[in-house]
Amino acid sequence: MTSLLIRGGRLIDPSQDLDRTGDLLIRDGKIAGAGDVAGHVDEEIDAEGMIVVPGLIDLHAALRDPGDEEDETTFTGTAAALAGGFTSIACLPDTTPAIDNRAAAEFAILQAARARNCHVYPLGAVTKNLNGEELAEMGQLVDGGAVGFSDGKNPIHNAEIMRRALEYSRMFDRPIFNFPEVEELSRSGIMHEGYYSTLLGLRGMPAAAESIMVSRDLALAEMTEGRLHVTTVTVSNSVQQILQAKEAGVKVTCSVTPHHLALDDSTLQRFDAAFKVNPPLRSQDHIDSLIRGLKDGTIDAISSDHQPYSVEKKRNELDEAPFGIAGLETVIPICIQTLIDPGHLSWLQLIDKLSTRPARILGLSKGTLRENSTADVTLIDPDAEWTIEPEQFYSRGRNTPFAGWTVKGRAETVLVNGQVRFHQGQLLSRANPVA
Amino acid sequence: MSTESPSRVWNRKHILGLEELSAEEITQILDQAAEFKQQAKAGVLKLNSLRGKVVANLFFEPSTRTRTSFGLAAKRLSADTVDFSPSGSSLSKGETFIDTAKNIEAMGVDQVVVRHVTPGAPHLLSKHLKASVLNAGDGTHEHPTQALLDIFTIREKKGTLDGLTVTLVGDILHSRVARSNIWGLKKLGARVIVCGPSTLIPRDITQLGVEISYDLDAVLPESDCVNLLRVQFERQRSAFFPSIREYAHLFGLNTERASRGKEGMMVLAPGPINRGVELSTEVADGPHSVVLDQVTNGLLVRMSCLYLLNQYQDRQAERGEA
């Protein structure tokens, strides 16, 4: 029996609608009590001035392992997750080879166990080799630990396949994550289609490319009663449609990224590939709709959509550079800046979107500080001022559009299974294992 | 020899586009080009201004006339030149674009003239190189020297840009020439109409202060100049109009159409022209056409850009020594 007391923090737990100052007791890797705790404990952490929350959970992050270890490995990606305050991540199946079979799912979990940073839950492929033609063995993937299904950044373009995936996954009560894009409309595009794409001569990716796919998927989800998760919603029309579908009882959830809230398409004027991301950074009117959607609950969750790339891949002409932002380590400060400081969301609402809801979407009994739940806990210092320096990232991906920004708020201490794995910028797991 | 007057000092290290140049800077480039033209008429063809300097022409996209024009402009100013035109993309050889440029710069290059298929590629280079960067066309973004030579040619014939109506015809969506022309023409006080198939005119273009027309016959009577942009077949990712025949029918400038134009209407075309598509042979070779003047003036405008960037570098070097 070992016990640890996190003393005097502001406890925030959306699963119990809890927001109060108090202590959190952890015993043998489980949460043993919250409030005013008395009696002997083995160890104490002073949490005064900290916000104590259920560990953050990322709905979709790319780990690139195996296949593209120059961009990220399970070790570096999960270290980045801890540094960002995440205790669990769902990893995308777009590795090489893809996570489209049971062995590959088990390998992802094994790599995470070797890394011993945070929990990793694989998203299995919807289709074999992510090519959109034939369903992957979803039952086998679930048995191998998959918590949901996704074809990564490949939209499931065949409506028939999407229909069958939504129907088939009902047996396992697991969601289908689709990346909403009609490729014919956005092919070879670089940025949002609008004034700035016209100005810069960069090929546009119209808002309709996303909302048309959202529309199709909502109709299929309604028909099949399957569970749909729309990843990275970025346009007004998508938000409106999802709101209507939810009101009609369709089983749909959706998520947004911090960078789509913080940055608009005018940033491409710098011709810097750090701003090249898919879906593209949109115009301010779309951003306003996303914020409204977060406030009214249409948008369930916030995900980093972590897409790490090595420097040599990103430091290139805009046509050649891949899409994506390494987002895990900047989620907290960017959310504070875009959502908390302007008063759009309360802390309780923000943590709901970063932990409690993602846990529900993935079917994990996490995202809570209730007694007897696993002690995955994050202490956030909301006032810590720091400058985002990609060279300091734990991730191998240095591709952030926020380099040089002075921000406030970061994860101070992160506990996984009741053990302190990250504290004051330092990783407390084993050294990088040769695995 | 120096043509610099103290009141007009060139203050830019790079020329990346006309968006960032002021009307005064554009005028300075044009005036300098005019001065070169006077000197050429007086028989002074070769100048010593860039003696001992190296100009690299990096053409990552095929080009004949712009590359030749820049090469000759540098030689007229006595610069040494190096040409680099890779057959494929630099990445196919495993080297990044920036590495390629840095390697060439390391040979002691003072100015880099760059053409690239990707918008912003010259801007990326300007952040990583010590040399001055001159944009010779970046994808569908800007082609500043082409617009400068178009504007120079108009100014030479019409005296001023102020109050003129200039109509740009054709594929506005994929045209770097159109974007640079719009910036330059608007800054010098011209009215600009863009005219072409509705699939090739982005509606947001009006935010740049231009008018849109889909009817060439309607705008010709009010146009002092028409600039017939080449249809960029190679940049189009899908069919933007049903056939070339239909394009020529709606937007091709033939003798009959030209006759309905405004008195003294100038016909420009950046070339290479698709004869029988954007304009008929009779018009291309006819009295309204200034197509070959454009080519001659292109050399002068490019000399002017190289000359002014060199002037900036010399002044920086003097400051460094002082």
A406 CB within 8 Å of a chain B CB: no
In Å, how far is B174's CA from the nearest CA of chain A? 7
Q: Which sign, positive or negative, has the C-alpha torsion B143, B144, B147, B149?
A: negative
pLDDT in tens, B18-42: 999 999 999 999 999 999 999 999 9
Residue A320, chain B, CB below 8 Å: the answer is yes
Task: Tell me the CA distances in angstroms from A139 to A151, A173, A373, B122, one per residue in order.
Answer: 16, 11, 27, 51
Catalytic residue chosen out of the listed positions B37, B66, B165, B191: B66
Does B292 contact A at CB distance below 8 Å? no
Whether the full predicted model's pTM is greater than 0.80, yes or no, is: yes
Q: What residue in B sits closest to A201 (Cα-Cα)?
A: B141
Check if A188 contacts B (Cβ < 8 Å).
yes
Per-residue pLDDT tens, chain A, 435 aa: give them. Answer: 689 999 999 999 999 999 999 999 999 999 999 888 777 889 999 999 999 999 999 999 999 999 999 999 999 999 999 999 999 999 999 999 999 999 999 999 999 999 999 999 999 999 999 999 999 999 999 999 999 999 999 999 999 999 999 999 999 999 999 999 999 999 999 999 999 999 999 999 999 999 999 999 999 999 999 999 999 999 999 999 999 999 999 999 999 999 999 999 999 999 999 999 999 999 999 999 999 999 999 999 999 999 999 998 998 889 999 999 999 999 999 999 999 999 999 999 999 999 999 999 999 999 999 999 999 999 999 999 999 999 999 999 999 999 999 999 999 999 999 999 999 999 986 554 443
**CA-based nearest residue in chain B for residue A273:** B124
Residues of A in contact with B174 (CB under 8 A): 201
Q: Active-site residue among B37, B76, B115, B155?
A: B115
What's the confidence (pLDDT) of residue A315?
A: 86
3 state SS of B215: coil
Rounded to whole angstroms, the Cα distance separating A171 from A404 reads 47
B-chain residues within 8 Å CB-CB of A270? 123
A171 near B CB under 8 A: no
Question: Burial code of A278-294, b = ≥16 C-beta within 10 A, e = fewer?
Answer: bbbbbbeebbebbbbbb
Pair of tokens at residue A81: 């997750």
**B92 interaction partners in chain A (CB closer than 8 Å):** none
Residues from chain A that touch B123, judged by Cβ atoms under 8 A, are 270-271
- pLDDT tens, position by position, A403-433: 999 999 999 999 999 999 999 999 986 554 4
- In this complex, the residue of B19, B119, B176 whose CB is nearest that of residue A318 is B119
Q: Is-catalytic flag, B46?
A: no
Q: Assign B235 a pLDDT band (cuts: 50, 70, 90).
A: low
CA of A211, closest CA in chain B: separation in Å? 20
Q: Which residues, numbered 225 to 244 in chain B, qualify as contacts with chain A under a Cβ-Cβ cut-off of 8 Å?
A: 237
Sheet holding B54-59, edge to edge: B80-84, B54-59, B111-116, B132-138
A77-99 pLDDT, tens digit per residue, is 999 999 999 999 999 999 999 99
List of E strands, A245-393: 252-256, 301-302, 377-387
Any CB–CB contact under 8 A between B199 and chain A? no
Cα dihedral sign, B173-B174-B176-B177: negative
For chain A, the domains span 55-362
Instruction: Give residue for tokens 């022409």.
Output: B57
Tokens of B77: 């100013």
pLDDT for B99 = 86
| Residue B150 C-alpha, separation from nearest chain A C-alpha, in angstroms | 20
Report how far residue A53's alpha carbon sits from residue A382's, in angstroms, rounded to the nearest whole number.
Answer: 12
Query: Is residue B92 within 8 angstroms of chain A, CB to CB?
Result: no
Residue A399 to chain B, least CA–CA distance (Å): 16
**Do the chains contact at B119 and A201, CB–CB below 8 Å?**
yes
- B73 Cβ neighbours under 8 A, 6+ residues apart: B299, B300, B302, B303, B306
Q: Evaluate whether A333 touches A304 at the Cβ level (below 8 Å).
A: no
ipTM: 0.88
Q: Is any Cβ of chain B less than 8 angstroms from the Cβ of A285?
A: no
Q: What is the pLDDT of residue B197?
A: 95
pLDDT digits (tens, 9 = 90+) for A13-71: 999 999 999 999 999 999 999 888 777 889 999 999 999 999 999 999 999 999 999 99
Question: Mean pLDDT throughout B124-129?
Answer: 92
Report the distance separating Cα A29 and Cα A4, nearest Å.
9
Q: How far is A198 from chain B (nearest CA, A)?
A: 7
β-pair partners for A88? A57, A119
- Pick the catalytic residue from A13, A100, A300, A305: A305
Q: Taking a C-beta distance cutoff of 8 angstroms, is the pair A229, A320 a contact?
A: no
A264 noted as active-site residue = no
Position B6 scores a pLDDT of 47
CA-to-CA distance for B111 and B195, rounded, in angstroms? 36
Helix, strand, coil shares, percent, chain B, to 5: 45, 15, 40
Residues of chain B neighbouring A312 (CB-CB closer than 8 A): 96
Indicate whether B48 pLDDT > 80.
yes
Chain B residues whose beta carbon lies within 8 Å of the beta carbon of residue A276 = none
If you average pLDDT over every residue of chain B, what do you get?
91
> Is the sign of the CA dihedral A392, A395, A401, A405 positive or negative?
negative
What is the H or E stretch that residue A109 is in? Answer: helix A102-115
Range from A50-54, A127-131, B307-311, B318-322 carrying the lowest mean pLDDT: B318-322
The reported pLDDT for the residue numbered B7 is 59
B139 near A CB under 8 A: yes
What are the chain A neighbours of B141 within 8 Å (beta carbons)? 200-202
CATH superfamily name and code, A55-362: Metal-dependent hydrolases (3.20.20.140)
pLDDT at B63: 87
pLDDT of B87 > 80? The answer is no
Residue type, B46: K
pLDDT in tens, B173-206: 999 999 999 999 999 999 999 999 999 999 999 9
Please give the Cα distance from A46 to A65 (Å, whole number).
Answer: 37
Q: Identify the residue among B61, B90, B91 best suited for mutation to test binding to A, counting A beta carbons within 10 A and taking the highest.
A: B91
Q: For residue B24, give every residue at least 6 positions away whose Cβ sits within 8 Å of its Cβ, in sequence order, or none.
A: none
Q: Is residue B85 very low, low, confident or very high in pLDDT (cuts 50, 70, 90)?
A: confident
User: Cα–Cα distances in Å, from A265 out to A259, A283, B174?
Assistant: 11, 5, 19
